Amino acid sequence: MRHTLAILVENRFGELARIVGLFSARGYNIESLTVAETLDPQISRVTLVTSGDEATIEQIIKQLDKQIRVLSVHDLSLRDHIEREMALLHISTKSGTERTQVMRLAEIFEAKVIDASISAVTVQAVAERQRLEEFLQLLAPFGINEIARAGTLAIGRLSAPTSREQLCQHEGSVKEHYG
């Protein structure tokens, strides 16, 4: 089963290498990996997608939790969350008709044409993984000359009201671990 992990780590040289090394040493596959600073520049958020059964994912989380500079690990797959991927695409358009068709598809999929030439357009698409795959299948007949995909970004839903007290407790536990 596919799992999306949200990992908060100290923003220090080599921390990503430690996490990737942990996966490599144990033979776990990383399907997608994104890393960026949080609102606190001393903390980075790693969003990592991997696959495995319950026991494997539990083992991965335990191993990550043992890392000194890992502040928290959450399996977002266990709760309601939002995931998005981004792709930049160069798509062939041999005629004005094809260019119009690609632009219509982009509109339907809420993508944006961000550059154009006589023979191609560049499209930016942000969507759930399955929706992005559907878009790519429809564009394939035109000829996708090049694609650059960003890894999965994910965040928990705000579907249930979270009290200020719960937020402060969570922030305090992260800072306690970090501090």
Instruction: Spell out the domain ranges in the chain.
Output: 2-80, 82-153
Homologous superfamily in CATH for domain 2-80: ACT domain (3.30.70.260)
Sign of CA dihedral 111, 112, 115, 120: positive
Residue 176: per-residue pLDDT: 56
Of the chain, the end-to-end C-alpha distance in Å amounts to 34
pLDDT at 159 (0 to 100): 74
pLDDT bucket at 164, cuts 50 / 70 / 90: low
Residue written as tokens 């033979």?
27
pLDDT in tens, 65-92: 999 999 999 999 999 999 999 999 999 9
Same fold yes or no, 2-80 and 82-153: yes
How much is the pTM?
A: 0.80
The answer to whether 177 and 43 have CB atoms below 8 angstroms apart is no
Selected from 1.10.357.10, 3.40.50.1970, 3.40.50.1100, 3.30.70.1150, the CATH number assigned to the domain covering 82-153 reads: 3.30.70.1150
pLDDT value of residue 169: 55
Longest CA–CA separation in the chain, Å: 60
Using CA atoms, how far apart are residues 111 and 109, in angstroms rounded to an integer? 5
Tokens 């928290």 locate to: 72
Q: Could you read off the pLDDT of 93-151 as tens digits, one per residue?
A: 999 999 999 999 999 999 999 999 999 999 999 999 999 999 999 999 999 999 999 98
- pLDDT score of 51: 93
